[in-house]
Amino acid sequence: MSDQTVTLPTHYKHHRTYLVDQNTANKCHLLRGNLPLEDDGSFAWAKLDARLQELIGASFELGEYTFLDVTLIDNQGEGTSFDAELRAFGIDPTSTANNWCTLWPPYFRGYDTKTIQGTEIEGNAAHKGGLVWWPVQPCDGTNSSCDNIELKQFAFTDLIEYLNSLLNTKSKTIIYFHCMHGHDRTSAVTASYLMKYKGSTLDEALKSPPPKGAYIDGFEWEGTYPDLVKWYNTNYVNQ
């Protein structure tokens, strides 16, 4: 558990975790979900282990894998949850080395978003893990807006490729990407990945449940995240 007393606005919900892709040869699994923490900021290890057994197989044991957390949340309005997630991986959010509190947008400010921070979860050497910070923001679907926001500020297209690269270069690793609630940002990444690497159509990616689409938990798309997916489909899937 974190040594900081916090109460987070949300917590891990197992029914928002789904398998997106896997590489059985090197035992890597790509999953989507929501914030992997409990209300008090502690890591939801047991609940994640139980859910992954449901999805991957009863013989699965999370302790035999490295858990790579790709967090899509921001350090602005979601700062309390972001800080708690950093602490879960042994990272001091007040450190001036990376300026965690003020670095925004990180990619635009020169931060290498492919950097894996930490080596274990909550100081437990038996729980191997690392954190990648790659926030996601929407655009309005126009090339001018999306090219500026997604390419120059947040490198969204690189994120999709990076997830696939991790799946094919790591071994015995759970790659878990998420935003706060596992909906808009997580669904945008899921839909884009499914179109790029799993052959889903745009309509399937936006409206179908797993494994073909990003529709889960009775969620309805909000804001301009569907526009982001449509822009990605037009410019990076159907070229």
Backbone angles phi, psi at 132, to 5 degrees: -115, 130
Name the percent of the chain lying above pLDDT 90.
90
Summarize pLDDT for 217-235 with one digit per residue, the tens.
Answer: 888 887 799 999 999 999 9
- Mean pLDDT, the chain, integer: 94
Q: Which helix (H) or strand (E) holds 19?
A: strand 18-23
- Give me the mean pLDDT over the 80-92 stretch: 96
pLDDT at 52 over 70: yes
Residues 80-87: what's their mean pLDDT?
96
Q: At what angle do helices 225-232 and 184-197 cross, to 10 degrees?
A: 20
**pLDDT-based confidence at residue 99 (cuts at 50, 70, 90):** confident
pLDDT 10s digits, 169-213: 999 999 999 999 999 999 999 999 999 999 999 999 999 999 999
Q: 149: burial class by Cβ within 10 Å (0-12, 13-18, 19+)? A: buried
SS3 200: coil
Cβ(74)–Cβ(136) below 8 Å:
no
Furthest-apart CA pair in the chain: how many Å?
49
Q: How confident is the model at residue 3 (pLDDT cuts 50, 70, 90)?
A: low
User: What is d(CA 28, CA 15) in angstroms, rounded to the nearest whole number?
Assistant: 21
pTM: 0.96
> Does residue 69 contact residue 131 with C-beta atoms inside 8 Å?
yes
Calpha distance 76→61 (Å, rounded): 35
The answer to whether the beta carbons of residues 17 and 55 sit under 8 Å apart is yes
For residue 179, give both structure tokens: 């935003």
**Rounded mean pLDDT, 17-46:** 97
Report d(CA 173, CA 39) in Å as an integer.
25
pLDDT at 4: 60
pLDDT in the model for residue 220: 81
For the segment 57-76, the average pLDDT, to the nearest whole number, is 97
Three-class secondary structure of residue 221 per DSSP? coil
- Mean pLDDT computed over 7-23: 96
Q: Can you list the domains of the chain with their CATH numbers?
A: 14-237 (3.90.190.10)
Mean pLDDT calculated for residue range 158-168:
98
